[in-house]
């Protein structure tokens, strides 16, 4: 059964997940994003696929290193299902590149729990958030996650308060200097035009409405089932769970305010959602129900192409 196969992290499971990502990515490529076939087109698409696959490996490192889930591959599998469910998320280059940079930042934020090299981690986290902001301006909201992480892990000191600001401004200053040198400062300023779009008419389309409702129900189930168990025990996972909840809330805020509402903005909620649902899978003892959840995600991810 599918739940049993992915219940452990093994080379075979990682290979299967990457293969599934390959199927989703190129199915969408040839169904919706193909132009006239050429060598240049294929090289571009294959290169972009490799980039997304590398992003998955970074996610796997974050999850395993910080013990965000037990020793299983559910989080990675669910991420790929969600990529398949919201295919536009894989084809917005700015959002994909921004999330790649953010993952490098999240790697530092979630590792604050260790208490090692805290100041360096705060700088690095906001440095990568700064890079992500240059790629997709709404990524700036994740600076809040750095401070939330400091509060949760009790790392908030006067010195630590200013280190994230320095880290965030470093890529900004470098890029501004570059633009100024080539007399294109306006290009830099345009990076920070925060146009808010509250038109959710695209979410009335079944291909977005059904998956969003389904994901919302499963996330609510995860929160209701896991949170009471976590708050009663003071351990490292409790801090990580608190951070995950705040991560999800910030991601939802970005989705709500994002200027483009075509499904690509949902990329931001995929990581925290996948990790939360993976923890739900662990807490469900019934193999039948675990399989039903995974098959439901698979069914939804396939059905959107026919809606």
Task: Using the structure block, give the residue that is written with the tokens 């994740």.
Answer: 142
Task: Using the structure block, give the residue that is written with the tokens 């940079």.
Answer: 101
- Reference 260, options 140, 136, 145; nearest CA is 136
Q: Is residue 142 part of a domain?
A: no
Q: Is residue 270 part of a domain?
A: yes
Residue 277 is predicted with a pLDDT of 97
- Region of residue 186 (phi > 0: left; psi between -120 and 50: alpha; otherwise: beta): alpha
Dihedral sign of CA atoms 118, 70, 220, 54 in order: positive
Q: Is residue 245 part of a domain?
A: yes
Cα 13 to Cα 7: distance, rounded to the nearest angstrom: 9
Q: Is residue 293 part of a domain?
A: yes
Task: Say what the pTM is.
Answer: 0.94
Query: Can you spell out the DSSP letters for the chain?
Result: -HHHHTTS--HHHHHHHHHHHHHHHHHHHHHHS--S--HHHHHHHHHHHHHHHHHHHHHHHHHHHTTSS-SSSHHHHHHHHHHHHSGGGGT-HHHHHHHHHHHHHHHHHHGGGG-SSHHHHHHHHHHHHHHHHHHSGGGGGGHHHHHHHHHHTT---HHHHHHHHHHHHHHHHHHHHHHHHTT-HHHHHHTT--------GGGGSHHHHHHHHHHHHHHHHHHHHHHHHHHTS-SHHHHHHHHHHHHHHHHHHHHHH-S--SSGGGHHHHHHHHHHHHHHHHH---HHHHHHHHHHHHHHHHHGGG-
Q: Is residue 155 part of a domain?
A: no
Q: What is the dihedral of CA 67, 103, 52, 299, to 10 degrees?
A: 60
Q: Is residue 52 part of a domain?
A: yes
Cα 268 to Cα 135: distance, rounded to the nearest angstrom: 14
Structural domain count, the chain: 1
Averages of pLDDT over each 10 residues, the chain, 307 residues: 82 92 92 74 89 94 92 94 94 94 96 89 97 95 96 90 95 91 81 88 93 97 92 81 96 95 95 96 90 95 89
Q: Is residue 14 part of a domain?
A: yes
| Residues near 90 by beta carbon (within 8 Å), at least 6 away in sequence | 24, 25, 28, 52, 83, 96
Do the Cβ atoms of 205 and 306 come closer than 8 Å?
no
Task: Using the structure block, give the residue that is written with the tokens 């649902």.
Answer: 277
Q: Is residue 173 part of a domain?
A: no
Alpha helix positions (H), 141-235: 143-152, 158-181, 185-190, 206-231
Residue 11 lies in domain: 2-112+198-306
């Amino acid at each position: 059964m599918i739940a049993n196969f992915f219940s452990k992290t093994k080379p075979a499971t990682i290979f299967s997940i990457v293969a599934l990502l390959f199927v989703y990515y190129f199915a969408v490529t040839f169904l919706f994003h193909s132009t006239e076939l050429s060598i240049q087109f294929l090289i571009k698409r294959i290169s972009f696929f490799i980039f997304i696959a590398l992003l998955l490996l970074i996610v796997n490192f974050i999850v395993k290193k910080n013990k965000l889930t037990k020793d299983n591959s559910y989080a990675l599998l669910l991420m790929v299902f969600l990529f398949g469910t919201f295919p536009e998320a894989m084809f917005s280059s700015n959002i994909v590149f921004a999330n790649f940079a953010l993952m490098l930042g999240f790697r530092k934020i979630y590792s604050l729990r260790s208490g090692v090299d805290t100041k360096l981690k705060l700088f690095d986290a906001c440095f990568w958030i700064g890079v992500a902001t240059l790629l997709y301006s709404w990524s700036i909201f994740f600076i809040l996650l750095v401070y939330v992480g400091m509060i949760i892990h009790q790392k908030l000191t006067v010195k630590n308060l200013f280190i994230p600001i320095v880290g965030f401004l470093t890529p900004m200053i470098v890029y501004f200097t570059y633009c100024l040198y080539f007399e294109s400062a306006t290009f830099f300023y345009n990076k920070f035009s925060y146009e808010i779009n509250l038109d959710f008419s695209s979410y009335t389309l079944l291909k977005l409405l059904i998956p969003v409702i389904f994901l919302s129900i499963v996330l609510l189930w995860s929160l209701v089932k896991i949170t009471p168990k976590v708050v009663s025990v003071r351990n490292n996972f409790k801090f990580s769970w608190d951070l995950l909840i705040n991560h999800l809330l910030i991601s939802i805020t970005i989705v709500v305010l994002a200027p483009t509402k075509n499904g690509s903005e949902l990329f931001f909620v995929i990581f925290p959602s996948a990790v939360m649902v993976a923890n739900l899978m662990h807490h469900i003892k019934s193999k039948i129900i675990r399989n039903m959840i995974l098959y439901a995600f698979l069914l939804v991810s396939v059905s959107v192409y026919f809606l």
